[in-house]
Amino acid sequence: MDTLISVITDTVLITLVLALAAFGLAIIYGLIGVINMGHGAMLTLGAYFTWSLTRHGMPFVASVLLSASAVGTVGLVFEHLIIRHFYNRPFDTLLLTWAFFLVATEVIKIVFGTDFRNVARPIEGAIDIGIYRIPAYRTIVGGLSILLILSTAFILYKTSLGIKIRAMVQNREMAGLLGLNVAFMYKCVFGFGSFIAGLAGGLIAPMYSVDPYMGNTFLVRSFFVVIVGGIGQVLAGTLFGSFTIGGLETVLALFSDQVIAQIAVFFIAVVLLRFRPQGVFTGR
Amino acid sequence: MTENKKSRSITRRQALGAMAGTAAVLGTPALIRPAKAADPIKIGVLSPVTGAWTVYGQAHSRGFELAVEEINAAGGVLGRPIEMILADYQTDQRLVVEQANRLLRQEKVDLLAGTFSSADRNAAGPVVKAADKILLYPTWYEGQIKDYYPGVCNPNIFMFGPEPTQQVWPFMEYMVSNHGKKFYMIGSDYAWPRVTNLFTKEKLQELGGEVVAEVYIPFNTPQYESVLRDIREKKPDIIFHSLTGSDTVNFAQQFHAAGMSKDFTYWTVDDEEVVTSGLGPEVSAGHFVSFDYFMTISHPNNKAFLERYKAKYGPDALMNTVGVGMYNAAHMGALAIAKAGKVETAAIREGLKELTFDKAPQGPVKMRGLDNQIVVPSYLMKVRAGWTSVNDMFEEVQSVPSVEPKDARCDLPL
């Protein structure tokens, strides 16, 4: 029983944290079809900005928000200068965003150095539930992840902006012909996705090692999350994908060691893709 | 047809001429060289400047650079300066091979130093064996077992970092009698943690302890909940930790966040200054760490060394066991060449054997001739609660001024 409770809480928390890390990628990939290889670098940038700001005495929450805005701005500039000219050529955007990753990583190393950095956890301690202690900060981040996904869902499905975005996703040309400013909306989506990546980077900084390559750990997993969940299935897809890639590993590790659990997870992901190549949540 | 014949005969003549020319060119440097005394001795340094071990790359290359500067300021070796040629292998074992070959063939270096992890060194092993050049290896590592030849047990590789019978064994009695007999081993999934644990288990058995679990984690694993649960269930006394890179930080962060720091003793053979800085004072407080070198050791050599190091790289620059390994490697390499009187592999090898270096930052060290393994001091430290920088990070628990390791499990002598 103890084990069961701890496995469930672990699984939920892992799923939510991974969903947060993958969400920016899911938005950009799912809504405007750009395979953002720079996603990892955006997470890293968010973490480093947060580290830098908190070190200069700014409160944690303000630091994270400012960092996310900064990364969002970087994304907007990158989109305006380069990406917007390549929306019709997805493979070129893949190379361009990869180049963004390389350049950003080197700049991070030059500006912030190559040492490990640490961001102090804003909330110390663990929530004691009798048999088991749940890390307090991680729980809050998990909560924020739900909040973020729900509010994005609200925007997408309950506002006129959301209707426009969905129209654009369904048929870009038609949406343009009907008078939507497609170029502007693409820019907003790219900027928002970058903002979310920066936000995630800042929020996970106190839980993980902050080093120039920290985003890489999440890049591959994030891609699996998006592809398993289904491209364009920003909400349910992201959550399901995160559960498959992150949560399942914890469950499997009950019965085997870590190495086998990790291999099994990716194996299951591949099998899922074999039978649902469009992603689990995408109708055929 | 005739033209063809003609051209062929000319070609042949040209070939002869070219050969003579080549011979002359090849012969000349041999004649000139002794006269040109200031020709530098070239040492190729393989450093992980980018990629996963970036965080260690800086201290790694700086340690060597500082030593080279000191050697050259003192007049060089055999009247010749040392030239350090840095090659970044991007933490990629294929690039270790590529860069080592480039240094040897294109840069024509006289010997090599560096590589960081055991996997990197094992990649470089066949290269230095084939080219018959010396490699000076700086990192704490798993010790030499014949199975991993030519990465170890290789007469051309000299080990300047401690192995488990130096880094772990001297403190096991203290740890077992003060903190308990039940060990939970967690490490990254490659040669160094596995063999280190093998040696540790051997000694643990002698002391009547037991290993409750031995867990290996793939590189770049962000989540450790299942391991933490396993630890809680198995109730060990000591977490014996050999994860590396960002994984060690991720694990320790989550271990602490789960409120487990106060319930278990944490002994790491990986978290030197660089990693412990990444953990921060909250998470790392109370961890036991053992190495041959720490920035906070009180040996007079260390004070002088750190003064020079900080004068060059700034007051906040990090140093660690690997950087010091590289520093000692450069100095002892130079001493060996001076002793040999010439820059030639067999002579340098002989020169290095049984060589002592009194100025080593951790205290005097000696290169054992039998198995090319450095004999170093060893320190068990505890991370000070509320440390503010690397200068007050560790406090000494126990130390041994010089640890003679167990003989390497190779065909000895090397």
**Could you report the per-residue pLDDT of B39-78, keeping only the tens digit for each?**
899 999 999 988 778 888 889 999 999 999 999 999 999 9
* Residue-level pLDDT at B6: 43
Mean pLDDT of B165-176: 96
Of A115, A120, A212, the CB nearest to B280: A120
pLDDT score of B116 more than 90:
yes
Interface test with chain B among A2, A4, A114, A203, by most B beta carbons within 10 Å:
A114
- Most confident range (mean pLDDT) of A33-37, A77-81, A239-243, B38-42 is A77-81
CB contact under 8 A, A208 and B225: no
Residue A124 with chain B: CB contacts under 8 Å: 282
CA distance B157 to B288: 30
Mean pLDDT of A39-62: 96
pLDDT band at B37 (very low <50, low <70, confident <90, very high): low
Count of A-B CB contacts under 8 Å: 124
* Residue-level pLDDT at B11: 53
Interface test with chain B among A8, A258, A260, A263, by most B beta carbons within 10 Å:
A258
Of B218, B249, B258, the CB nearest to A259: B218
* Residue-level pLDDT at B179: 96
CB contact under 8 A, A116 and B55: yes
Overall size of chain A counted in residues? 284
* Residue-level pLDDT at B36: 52
CB contact under 8 A, B55 and A259: no
Q: Which residue of A has its CA nearest to B214?
A: A257
> What is the C-alpha R_g of chain A?
19
CB contact under 8 A, A213 and B52: yes
What tens digit of pLDDT does each residue of A134-145 get?
889 999 999 999
Portion 135-174 of A in contact with B at CB < 8 A: 135-138
Min Cα–Cα distance to chain A from B282, Å: 8
pLDDT score of A240 more than 80:
yes
* Residue-level pLDDT at B8: 45
CB contact under 8 A, B55 and A114: yes
What tens digit of pLDDT does each residue of A8-22 get?
888 999 999 999 999
Note whether B209 and B240 are within 8 A (CB). no
pLDDT: is B137 or B4 the higher one? Answer: B137
pLDDT: is A255 or B399 the higher one? Answer: B399
* Residue-level pLDDT at B335: 97
CB contact under 8 A, B275 and A126: no
As a whole-number percent, the residues of chain A with pLDDT over 90 amount to 50
pLDDT score of B154 more than 80:
yes
pTM for this prediction: 0.83
CB contact under 8 A, A258 and B258: no
* Residue-level pLDDT at B26: 46
pLDDT score of B331 more than 90:
yes
* Residue-level pLDDT at A229: 85
Portion 1-40 of A in contact with B at CB < 8 A: 3, 6-7, 10, 13-14, 17
What tens digit of pLDDT does each residue of B356-392 get?
999 999 999 999 999 999 999 999 999 999 999 999 9
Of A3, A207, A210, the CB nearest to B257: A207
Among B181, B148, B223, B351, residue whose Cα is nearest residue A209: B223
Mean pLDDT computed over every residue of chain B: 90
Within an 8 Å CB–CB cutoff, is residue A79 touching chain B? no
Among A247, A5, A254, A16, residue whose Cα is nearest residue A138: A16
* Residue-level pLDDT at B222: 85
pLDDT band at B246 (very low <50, low <70, confident <90, very high): confident
Mean pLDDT of B193-214: 95
pLDDT score of B31 more than 60:
no
Among B246, B290, B248, B283, residue whose Cα is nearest residue B269: B290
pLDDT score of A146 more than 60:
yes
* Residue-level pLDDT at A131: 67
Q: Which residue of A has its CA nearest to B223?
A: A14
* Residue-level pLDDT at A259: 81
pLDDT score of A165 more than 50:
yes
